[in-house]
Amino acid sequence: MESPFTNCLPLAAVPNAVPLARVFIRQSLLNWKRRDLIEDAELLASELVTNAIKATRSFATALSRSRIGMIRVCLIVVDALAVIEVWDPNPVLPVLPENVDHFEEGGRGLLLVDRLAKGWGCRRPRCGGKTVWCQLVAPEQLSSSHAVRPLPETACLPRLRNPLEVGMSIEDFHGPHPEPPREEHAKIGWSASVGRSASIRVRAHTCDRESVTYELCAAGGLGHIRRTERTADGDRVSESPWVRESEVRRLWDDLLEGKAR
């Protein structure tokens, strides 16, 4: 068996995520010289991402959250088999509809996945939300030897580069987990957030399924770290002081290693 190829992409749960997911799938497969999988993989990814966007929006509405949710698309290719996984924060599992009005705009996504994919399924990972996955095989290599393999539920995998090598899935990679603060760690001077302008770019972020998340933000050669604490009363957002981007990157590394908090 060849070494597996894996790639993941986090996306905001907005309509533009669908064409971005298609580009991500196409470019990944072109890089891996798997043109034979592109057409079906693009179509399947589009349907799964569309469903994930709808699920994320309904979940945010139910929780009365105005913040745009995130989804994550992962592509895994091993020999002739490809697996597409899409995670979203809504834990409600999808159900294959029995009757669909083909003149309606929605409702046909899972039916298309069910007919086109070699197999598909869903599960609730331990870090929350759900992952919907599907498998497809290169057209010229379709055979009974490529059986559908249910993917196991795993914990978050912040440091595992190639989970398939140990029989795991990468669906729950949402970002690195900072090390616990050391006994003599540096104190970051957090202050209340003044909001994020359109020019600020998020360069990196920690696991977005934790109660406290951190984002490395930069703009115009400067940067800071944004801290978000999720509570029952809503999100509490604070920021580190603005410094040169090179300095905030060192602070980011210290935060991940537990040297600063």
Q: What is the mean pLDDT of each run of 10 residues along the chain (261 residues)?
A: 74 90 92 90 93 87 66 88 90 76 51 86 84 85 46 36 34 66 93 68 76 84 88 85 90 93 93
Rounded to two decimals, the pTM is 0.55
Structure tokens at 199: 């020019």
> What Cα–Cα distance (Å) separates residue 142 from each residue in 51, 118, 123, 135, 222?
27, 9, 26, 12, 52
Tokens in use for 90?
Answer: 């809504």
* Residue type (1 letter), 146: H
Structure tokens at 154: 């795993």
Query: Domain 5-166's class?
Result: alpha beta
pLDDT tens digits, residue range 53-78? 999 888 876 655 556 788 999 999 88
Contact by Cβ (8 Å): 258, 180: yes
Give the CA radius of gyration of the chain: 20
Domain boundaries, the chain: 5-166, 191-256
| Phi–psi pair at 133, nearest 5 degrees | -130, 155
